[in-house]
Structures are given as structure tokens and as C-alpha cells.
Structure 1
């Protein structure tokens, strides 16, 4: 199917927190120093929850049994890519269904060996997460942090 010239790709993303309320972020392989949450596009006929579980496992090695769903974000969030970052696959940007999970597994499960997108991971605060991502994602991450502030380890978003 031919895509329209102006479209936003549907995706799913995960805000994963540990028992201390810290957020899991991943460093991109292609842009060292650029960090983001696990996320990706929805496959044809795939529901957002199915997609987020698939993406998290593909990108981090974490399986559904390592996660406890806390809540979905009440609405999809949108970011627009800068002109130079737009591709046929990504379109103008993404409309993402985000889910908040608590990581209940063992950290040894975090394995980026098979990830083509990411080279490193770490736990951090929501404030640092927002500061470490690229600018076009920062607004979305700030909204996630504000909405889920009660579950996070810091209080500046409350």
C-alpha cells in the first residue's frame, strides 16, 4: 500500500520503572549520547499492547513476565520529526500509545546483544530522561512524567 506523503506512523512505547521509581532509558547506537524509551511501530493488524510487549522484548530482552502493567497513558501522544529525520518508514512523525510498566524481573534479563537500535541502558530519574532525549521527543516524555508522577522517584513533576 502506498503511504500518503504526510502521515504519522502509529506506534507503541513503554515507560518502564524499577521498584525505586527510576525510568529505564536506552542509548541509541546511531547517535551516541541520545537516550530514549523503548518504542516502535505497530505491525499491520497489531494492537498497541501487543506491539509494546514485542518492542520491549526485541529492544531490551525483557519479556512480558518481567513486567507488571500499571496503566496505559489515557491518550496517544504525538511528536513530529525534524525535516532531516523524516523517512518513508517514519513519515512526518509518530503517534504513540504509551504504557507504564513496573519491571519485576532480574536486571540480568536486560540484554541489548540483539538490538540493532541501542547500545546501552540505565535507570534514571524522569527529569534526566527528559534532558537526555532529543528535543522533538522531550515534550512527549515530559507529559508522560507529569501524568505518571505519582509512580516516579522524584517529585518535580507532581
Structure 2
């Protein structure tokens, strides 16, 4: 579906990934076009693409994390929706996204994470879910709050890592 041109009144089908390390911190990506705007890996579904396949593709495209470094812990029991501010709507994005979300445990090496190659992100950081909620764009916050509620029972203790890690 990401190749379709959507009128601004339509929502695009998408996927998102909550990726947590062994310390219980969430992988957050800082947007290159909006400094200090952090988000989790996400993106649109391609035509006829299964959501789980799409989320592995999006994570690999945005972070270089291969599927074998991710352990699926849980899928969101519901579709979650965010609406873009009117000024941010484009032909590709439409009005926002209706998303399938997945919670993963990360078992790879931090050194393998590369967010620079796609140009969408400036750096990455492991942070507490609540800190990511504070650092996210306002239109993403309702979805992130709902994800915190849905995945609250899964272990996520820990202290935050370095402020910002640039990929090599």
C-alpha cells in the first residue's frame, strides 16, 4: 500500500516495532528532519504484504537489525491509529496510519545498528518507554501510551544508555 497515492482523507496501513534490549530499554530513533523528535521503527505495508513480514522489513530498512536478532514477544491485540497534523499530510502518507504493532526482544549487537543509511534518522538511543513518550511528536503520543498499557506486563526495567548513538 505504500506505493499508492492516497488522498489526504485516507489512512495508510502500517506496522510498528517496540524493540527492547536486555536492560528493558526501548530502541528510539531520532528523526533527521526534525531534531529532538524520537520514534520507534515503523512504516507502511506494501501491497499484499503480511504485517509480520512488513515489520521485519521496516526494522531492517530503518535500523539494519536482521530478523534473526529479534524475538517476537507479543503482537498488539488491536490496530492503533495516529493522525498527522494537516501540514504534515502528503500524497504518500495520507491522513495518518492505521498500524499493527509488535513487541520484540533484541538479541543482537548494538554495533550492528545503523540508522544513517536510509537518511530518515540522525541517531538512535536505548531509553525508558516513558522517556520516549515524552520525546515523541504529539501525534504519536496516544499510540505510545496505548502500547505502554498493552505491553506493561512484559519486563522492561533498566537505566538509560548513552544520550545518542550515531551509526558508523
Flag whether TM exceeds 0.5 (same fold).
yes
Q: Deviations over 1:56-102 (max 9, x none)?
A: 00000100011000010011100111110111111111001000000
Tell me the secondary structure at the aligned position of residue 40 of structure 1: strand
CA–CA distance in structure 1, aligned partners of residues 7 and 29 of structure 2: 31
Secondary structure class of the residue paired with 2:36: coil
The reply to whether residue 121 of structure 1 matches residue 124 of structure 2 is yes
* TM-score, length-scaled by structure 1: 0.93
**What is the aligned counterpart of 1:29 among 32, 50, 75?**
32
Give the corresponding residue for 1:139: 142
> Can you list the C-alpha shifts for 1:32-63, whole angstroms capped at 9, x where unaligned?
10000000000111111111000000000100
RMSD of aligned alpha carbons? 1.3
Corresponding position of 1:73: 76
Structure 2 contact 8–90 (Cα < 8 Å) conserved: no
Q: State which drifts further: 125-134 or 4-13.
A: 4-13
Structure 1, unpaired ranges of 5+ = none
SS in 2 for 1:113: coil
Distance 2:132 2:115 in 1: 19
Q: TM-score with structure 2 length normalisation? A: 0.88
Contact 2:5 2:92 (8 Å CA) reproduced: no
Number of matched residues?
154
The match for 1:44 is 47
Match of 1:60 among 63, 68, 74: 63
- Distance in 2 separating the partners of 1:46 and 1:131: 32
Which residue number in structure 2 is paired with residue 153 of structure 1? 157
Which segments of 5 or more consecutive residues in structure 2 lack a partner in the other structure? 159-168
Distance 1:6 1:149, change over 3 A: same
